[in-house]
Amino acid sequence: MIPARLRMGYWKRRWRERRDPALAWLTGANRRFRKNHPSDGDMWDDLWTNRRRLIQELAPGKSFLDLGGMYGIVGEMAFLAEQAGATRVVLFDGMDPSDEFDEKHRRNESRLRYIQGDLHDADHIASLGQFDIVWCAGVIYHSPNPLQQLMHLRHVTRERLLLGTHVIPEVPGIEQACVLYPGISAEMQATYAHVHGGAERFPGMAGPFDTTPLLAYANMWWGISPSALRSMMHYSGFEVTDEYLYSPFWIDLVVRPGGQSTDIYPALGLVRERARQRFADTPRDRLPTWADVEGDEIRSP
Ligand SMILES: C[S@@+](CC[C@H](N)C(=O)[O-])C[C@H]1O[C@@H](n2cnc3c(N)ncnc32)[C@H](O)[C@@H]1O
């Protein structure tokens, strides 16, 4: 084996990394990962093999929600859960159902139901009810509000959530770092594109932010480090039971309800109601001078 230092391009790469600390951070994480996890296999094969195994183990006899399984895989994991013996299967996604999905559904004589909706939509999520097993991959980094999405996932999860996401490597010396992608420079985008093999798959991170109306969620919004993700899980009411890091950039967590009790969060409308109650029985002439009264109406609170 030829020593790294004598290999073609080694010194050119090292010189580039010295000039670009972000590149050094990302490629250094890649190098360390490969050194600590030597593997001949393809990362994507490992990832999908592991996901299929988890679903085949967890789905039999359980209700199953695939949240975000339309694009690219056309409900494959939802159909797999059904074939593995899930009692009720729902695929929930923001996209229009594709012809391919329609065809697959008929071919499989599937009982799976498709619900088109947005994971940000608290009312729609509340109406979904709970599922024993929830699978959600490739979704939270597409949102400006990933924590809100995790809290919505907590509402629908009874036993286990399998959460897959793109991550950033830990940032040396900074606990629980996250990167906000929209607004980064073209140079920084080029660095991400270099590490991720091109700009196309990751608008907003490795290429220009897509400003097409209604397509904000096609972009990458947050680069979340594994330590930040664990903490986000904790504070959205989950406890991590298993973790699979396939590369410095892709992780799957298996989590169950636990962690921080979500009763620390005031329900929406609660503080408004509290303020309304405070003034409900107060005669008008006893209201404080700052009360926002117009005619007979106390507008705020
Ligand atoms: C990158 S694809 C991931 C597909 C698949 N889960 C996988 O891991 O390969 C993201 C999927 O999530 C859906 N999605 C993204 N944001 C969503 C949201 N806020 N509500 C519902 N679905 C969403 C997209 O429509 C798309 O089908």
Confidence of residue 198 (pLDDT cuts 50, 70, 90): confident
The domain spans of the chain are 39-181+221-264, 270-299
Ligand 1 touching residue 144 (CB < 6 A) = no
Q: Report the b/e string of 195-215 with b at 16+ CB within 10 A.
A: bbeebeebbbbbbebeeeeee
Q: What is the average per-residue pLDDT within 187-207?
A: 93
Ligand 1 touching residue 232 (CB < 6 A) = no
pLDDT in tens, 249-260: 999 999 999 999
One-letter amino acid of 162: L
Whole-angstrom distance, CA of residue 286 vs CA of residue 260: 41
Q: What is the average per-residue pLDDT within 211-235?
A: 97
CA-closest residue to ligand 1 atom 5: 69
Q: Is the pLDDT of residue 2 over 70?
A: no
Q: CB neighbours of 155 closer than 8 A, spacing ≥ 6?
A: 125, 126, 130
pLDDT at residue number 8:
65
pLDDT in tens, 145-187: 999 999 999 999 999 999 999 999 999 999 999 999 999 999 9
pLDDT at residue number 148:
97
pLDDT at residue number 276:
81
Sequence-ordered alpha helix ranges (H) in 111-212: 122-128, 146-156, 186-196
Q: Is the dihedral of CA 68, 71, 73, 74 positive or negative?
A: positive
Q: Is the pLDDT of residue 268 over 90?
A: no
Tell me, in angstroms, the distance from the centre of ligand 1 to residue 69's CA: 6
Q: CB neighbours of 295 closer than 8 A, spacing ≥ 6?
A: none
Pick the CATH number of 39-181+221-264 from 3.30.920.30, 3.90.1150.10, 3.40.640.10, 3.40.50.150: 3.40.50.150
